[in-house]
């Protein structure tokens, strides 16, 4: 393990050595922040939001989208040295990170938990795994129900990653490497070049090993993503890509609770079996997108994605810690365990037609689209047994001694999901200062599944219409006030559509309704301030009545306020800052919680801020803060995750236009904190003080 002081000491030495190699006449190139449109004719630069095309699937300035959106640009990803989606989302207010059973992304968007509302270039990416960022241009977090654009789920919002693509005429070769004080390191390459006048190719590759402060935790990731862009004519373009991701790591279920708080004194202890607590993922994802512009008013695009995800994970899981000695000190913990595997194949086709025109004095941007999907999933789960028992109690020690165990089949299923969707949306410019957006989406879900252990086979078909309506008032081009209403739904099979049971086959989908009002103001072309208030209602949630039957009477509500500032305050100071206030309540009994209960992992106050200031063309610093107030780990409302604040920092030195040295420090004050959980007894501890030193080369 490397000492953090070594990294801090090494930085000036690297800076001096790189300075000796650099030409003193060369200056730092202008930062190439993501091009985007806040308002019509908006400029480039900084951490500002891009255009709102993903939120509407039409060319729409962000100020004209009646919805709260947070974006993390390529430069912010680079400045923070972000390597995983989870790390990036921690800075987005309104988003809490779940522990995800130690093997997957799991987020709470405005209080709604999801493992499936993830997208890549607007196409669903719903397998359960940790998503990397090596081939990602930007991250978009679209708040509130988004069924018209993204389909089922997305009750609290959707997370879309925009992939890097090859650009005609571009030649680049970038390489990077970094290492931290725990010995974790990564290597990255990004190479792009023309392959003819009408063809461009690009390759992104990434390798990472990630030992950490946690006992026995280790793993490695390998990702390769080639892409090509072909200009088929003056008005037609084809973009094709393939991604291979291979992830292997220890499955870390975190810490148990004791006395309604995370267990203290065992912050680094691994409560599992390192030989059994393992996970691996292999993902093959191929995408193609064809774009054609018929004329200046009519355009079309069609996308096709095929994805094959092979996933396995095993884990010994801690239950609540116990005081067997009666002295008020936790000295034992209950263990259980299981392993699970899945093989999922997704085929998604999507087509959109966009027309911009007028009917008399009224302007229109009309979207008509369709989406077709087929998802096949084979899933298994095996239960751990310690002798004949499913649980065992062992002493708490620095190294947990897990008794010998065996496994037996618990579940096995095969499912086939077919989805057909049609949607229409019109953005209507009634006057120069008044716009209306209205539309609806029709979805038909047909799920066939079979329990391979019991032979129980079931089929359910759901048909749902999801409306969207918004009003935008623009007193000035750089100022908008909006109000909107949106709906979404979640079929009874849940996020993952693995199998139907004798209960879920009878249940109608859950429903989400969101009312939102807000203001967006661009005081300068590269700076955007936003504020929004919202109320999100969830209904048709399953509950068990007094007779023991499952009924759709559950309901919950989350209300909140969100403010943000993103962009450049000056030419040298770039910021992405946000605050969210959330207030939630279970309004009638749901499965696992009674009326009056607070939703799980819903912090009342959240702050996420990141900024960069450049003193000169060569030298800059970064600074970040994350704060979350206390929150309940589960619907039981018994175990509390305490409030926490994390301070981050960074330093940048540009030796010349080819070489940059960067130091990132996470948790500068060495705060012990617990950012997320999976129930009351799988509580994930945050990373301690860590320093990462990196270099980037560009040619």
**Whether the predicted pLDDT of 40 surpasses 50:** no
CATH architecture observed for domain 4-587+594-698: Beta Barrel (2.40)
340 and 379 Cβ atoms separated by less than 8 Å:
yes
- Average pLDDT score, the chain: 90
Dump pLDDT digits (tens) for 356-365: 999 999 999 9
592 token code pair: 């696992």
Dump pLDDT digits (tens) for 629-657: 999 999 999 999 999 999 999 999 999 98
- In the chain, domain spans: 4-587+594-698
pLDDT at res. 38: 55
**What is the mean predicted confidence (pLDDT) over 512-533?**
93
pLDDT at res. 591: 83
pTM over 0.75: yes
443 token code pair: 């979805």
pLDDT at res. 230: 97
205 and 188 Cβ atoms separated by less than 8 Å:
yes
CA distance 492 to 627: 34
Q: How confident is the model at residue 571 (pLDDT cuts 50, 70, 90)?
A: confident
**Whether the predicted pLDDT of 310 surpasses 60:** yes
pLDDT at res. 545: 74
Dump pLDDT digits (tens) for 672-692: 999 999 999 999 999 999 999
CA distance 699 to 696: 10
CA distance 33 to 568: 11
- The angle at the Cα of 272, spanning 270 to 278, to the nearest 5 degrees, equals 105
**Whether the predicted pLDDT of 30 surpasses 80:** no
Of 377-381, 383-387, 496-500, the range with the lowest mean pLDDT is 496-500
CB-based burial, 657-683: b 16+ in 10 Å, e otherwise: ebbbbbbbbbbbeeeebbbbbbbbbbb
130 token code pair: 């940790």
SS (H, E, C) 142-155: EECCCHHHHCCCCC
pLDDT at res. 514: 96
**Whether the predicted pLDDT of 180 surpasses 80:** yes
Which of 17, 26, 116, 107 has its CA nearest to residue 70? 107
- Identify the residue whose tokens are 């912090």: 603
pLDDT at res. 61: 86
Q: How confident is the model at residue 447 (pLDDT cuts 50, 70, 90)?
A: very high
Which carries the bigger pLDDT value, residue 568 or residue 579?
A: 579
pLDDT at res. 548: 75
Whole-Å CA distances, 232 to 197, 237, 303:
11, 6, 16
CA distance 116 to 174: 32
- Identify the residue whose tokens are 């959707």: 158
682 and 675 Cβ atoms separated by less than 8 Å:
no
Dump pLDDT digits (tens) for 181-219: 999 999 999 999 999 999 999 999 999 999 888 889 999
543 token code pair: 């509950």
439 and 485 Cβ atoms separated by less than 8 Å:
no
**Whether the predicted pLDDT of 540 surpasses 70:** yes
Which carries the bigger pLDDT value, residue 33 or residue 369?
A: 369
Which of 12, 42, 44, 20 has its CA nearest to residue 31? 44
CB-based burial, 228-244: b 16+ in 10 Å, e otherwise: bbbeeeeeebebbbebe
List Cβ neighbours of 691 (8 Å cut-off, separation of 6 or more).
Answer: 4, 7, 8, 180, 181, 663, 664, 665, 666
CA distance 509 to 521: 37
Direct distance between the N- and C-terminal alpha carbons of the chain, in angstroms, rounded to an integer: 32
278 token code pair: 């393992």
**Whether the predicted pLDDT of 527 surpasses 80:** yes
CA distance 334 to 318: 6
Q: How confident is the model at residue 570 (pLDDT cuts 50, 70, 90)?
A: confident
- For the four alpha carbons of 576, 577, 583 and 589, in that order, the dihedral sign comes to positive
What strand order describes the sheet that includes 112-114? 95-97, 107-109, 112-114
3-state secondary structure (DSSP) of residue 135: coil
Dump pLDDT digits (tens) for 70-103: 889 899 999 999 999 999 999 998 999 999 999 9
Tell me the CB-side half-sphere exposure of residue 518, using CA atoms within 13 A: 30
pLDDT at res. 550: 80
**Whether the predicted pLDDT of 36 surpasses 60:** no
Instruction: State the pairing for strand pair 298-322/332-359.
Output: antiparallel
Helical residues (DSSP H) of 532-684, grouped into ranges:
none
Burial class (CB in 10 A: 0-12, 13-18, 19+), 463: exposed
**Residue % of the chain over a pLDDT of 70:** 93
Dump pLDDT digits (tens) for 121-165: 999 999 999 999 999 999 999 999 889 999 998 789 999 999 999
CA distance 61 to 495: 31
684 token code pair: 């994930």
Q: How many helices (H) and strands (E) does the chain have?
A: 5, 37
**Whether the predicted pLDDT of 324 surpasses 70:** yes
Q: How confident is the model at residue 20 (pLDDT cuts 50, 70, 90)?
A: very low
Whole-Å CA distances, 319 to 126, 256, 278, 652, 681:
28, 6, 19, 44, 5
CA distance 549 to 491: 19
- Identify the residue whose tokens are 């630069």: 45
Instruction: State the pairing for strand pair 434-451/112-114.
Output: unpaired
pLDDT at res. 47: 64
């Amino acid at each position: 393990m490397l000492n953090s002081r070594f990294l801090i000491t090494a930085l000036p030495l690297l800076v001096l050595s790189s300075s000796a190699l650099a030409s003193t006449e060369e200056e730092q190139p202008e930062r190439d922040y993501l091009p985007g449109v806040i308002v019509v004719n908006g400029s480039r630069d900084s951490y500002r939001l891009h255009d709102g095309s993903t939120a509407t699937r039409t060319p729409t300035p962000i100020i004209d989208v009646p919805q709260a959106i947070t974006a993390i640009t390529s430069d912010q990803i680079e400045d923070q040295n972000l390597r995983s989606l989870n790390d990036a989302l921690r800075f987005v207010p309104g988003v809490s990170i779940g522990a995800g059973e130690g093997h997957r992304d799991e987020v709470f968007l405005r209080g709604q938990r999801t493992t499936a509302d993830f997208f890549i270039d607007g196409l669903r990416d719903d397998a359960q795994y940790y998503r990397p960022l090596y081939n990602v241009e930007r991250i978009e977090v679209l708040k509130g129900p988004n069924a018209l654009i993204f389909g089922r789920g997305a009750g609290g919002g959707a997370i879309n990653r925009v992939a890097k693509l090859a650009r005609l005429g571009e030649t680049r070769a970038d390489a990077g490497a970094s290492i931290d004080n725990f010995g974790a390191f990564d290597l990255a390459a990004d190479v792009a070049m023309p392959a003819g006048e009408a063809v461009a190719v690009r390759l992104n590759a990434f390798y990472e090993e990630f030992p950490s402060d946690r006992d026995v935790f280790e793993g490695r990731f390998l990702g390769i993503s080639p892409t090509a862009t072909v200009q088929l004519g003056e008005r037609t373009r084809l973009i094709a890509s393939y991604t291979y991701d291979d992830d292997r790591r220890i499955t870390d279920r975190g810490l148990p609770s004791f006395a309604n708080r995370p267990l203290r004194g065992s912050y680094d202890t691994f409560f599992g079996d390192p030989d059994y607590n393992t996970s691996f993922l292999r993902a093959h994802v191929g995408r193609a997108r064809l774009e054609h512009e018929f004329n200046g008013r009519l355009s079309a695009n069609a996308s096709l994605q095929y994805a094959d995800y092979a996933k396995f994970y095993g884990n010994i899981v801690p239950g609540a810690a116990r005081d067997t000695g009666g002295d008020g000190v936790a000295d034992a913990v209950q263990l259980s365990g299981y392993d699970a595997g899945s093989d999922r194949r997704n085929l998604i086709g999507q087509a959109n037609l966009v027309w911009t025109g007028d009917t008399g004095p009224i302007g229109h941007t009309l979207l008509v689209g369709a989406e077709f999907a087929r998802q096949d999933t084979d899933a298994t789960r095996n239960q751990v047994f310690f002798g004949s028992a499913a649980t065992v109690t062992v002493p708490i020690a620095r190294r947990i001694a897990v008794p010998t165990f065996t496994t037996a089949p618990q579940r096995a299923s095969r499912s086939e999901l077919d989805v057909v969707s049609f949607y229409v949306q019109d953005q209507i410019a009634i006057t120069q200062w008044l716009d209306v957006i209205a539309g609806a989406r029709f979805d038909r879900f047909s799920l066939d599944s079979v329990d391979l252990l019991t032979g129980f086979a079931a089929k359910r078909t759901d048909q749902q219409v999801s409306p969207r309506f918004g009003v935008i008032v623009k007193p000035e081009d750089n100022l908008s006030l909006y109000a909107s209403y949106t709906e979404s739904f979640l079929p009874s099979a849940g996020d993952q559509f693995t199998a139907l049971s004798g209960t879920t086959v009878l249940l109608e989908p859950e429903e989400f309704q969101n009312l939102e009002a807000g203001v967006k103001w661009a005081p300068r072309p590269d700076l955007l301030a936003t504020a929004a208030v919202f109320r999100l209602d969830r209904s048709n949630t399953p509950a068990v009545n007094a007779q023991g039957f499952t009924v759709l009477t559950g309901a919950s509500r989350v209300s909140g306020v969100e403010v943000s500032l993103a962009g450049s305050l000056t030419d040298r100071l770039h910021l992405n800052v946000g605050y969210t206030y959330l207030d939630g309540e279970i309004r009638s009994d749901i499965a696992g919680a009674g009326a009056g209960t607070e939703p799980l992992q819903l912090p009342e106050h959240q702050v996420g801020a990141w900024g960069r200031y450049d003193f000169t063309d060569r030298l800059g610093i970064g600074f970040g803060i994350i704060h979350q107030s206390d929150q309940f780990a589960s619907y039981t409302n018994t175990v509390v995750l305490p409030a926490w604040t994390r301070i981050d920092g960074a330093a940048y030195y540009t030796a010349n236009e080819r070489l940059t040295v960067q130091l990132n420090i996470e948790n500068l004050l060495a705060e012990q904190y617990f950012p997320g959980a999976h129930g009351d007894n799988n509580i994930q501890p945050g990373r301690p003080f860590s320093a990462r030193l990196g270099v980037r080369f560009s040619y």
